[in-house]
């Protein structure tokens, strides 16, 4: 692990438009969590899960109302973390009604 970034090198490809070596967990936590949950592979997700645990993931997803997670990702986390089913349904419906969601549903 690079001391300056405090992040493992295998995560670097998920932050292609950032100066990876300048990212740090304490300062860029929100960005790191979002990017890994949305774009990360299983190894990256496992790293994040170990770092913040079930409660940290549950809190982040709830506080961000599902953020940019796909319906498939939201269902995965719903099952894994015991997220409220009605709440997850609401997030998914909201995404479907968005401009981009409507374009994707055509």
pLDDT tens digits for range 60-102 = 999 999 989 999 999 999 999 999 999 999 999 998 887 665 5
Q: How far is CA 78 from CA 40, 57, 62, 71, 83, in A?
A: 18, 11, 10, 10, 4
Percent of all residues in the chain with a pLDDT value above 90, rounded to a whole number: 81
- Report whether 81 contacts 54 (CB < 8 A): yes
pTM of the model: 0.84
Q: Return the C-alpha torsion angle 79, 32, 105, 97, nearest 10.
A: 90
- Report whether 91 contacts 74 (CB < 8 A): yes
């Amino acid at each position: 692990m690079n001391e300056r970034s405090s992040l493992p090198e295998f995560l670097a490809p998920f932050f292609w438009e950032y100066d990876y070596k300048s990212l740090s967990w304490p300062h860029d936590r929100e960005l790191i969590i979002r990017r890994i949950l949305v774009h990360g592979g299983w190894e990256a997700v496992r790293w994040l899960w170990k770092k913040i645990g079930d409660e940290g993931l549950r809190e982040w997803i709830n506080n961000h109302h599902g953020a940019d997670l796909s319906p498939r990702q939201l269902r995965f986390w719903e099952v894994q973390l015991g997220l409220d089913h009605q709440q997850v349904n609401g997030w998914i419906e909201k995404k479907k009604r968005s401009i981009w969601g409507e374009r994707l549903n055509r």
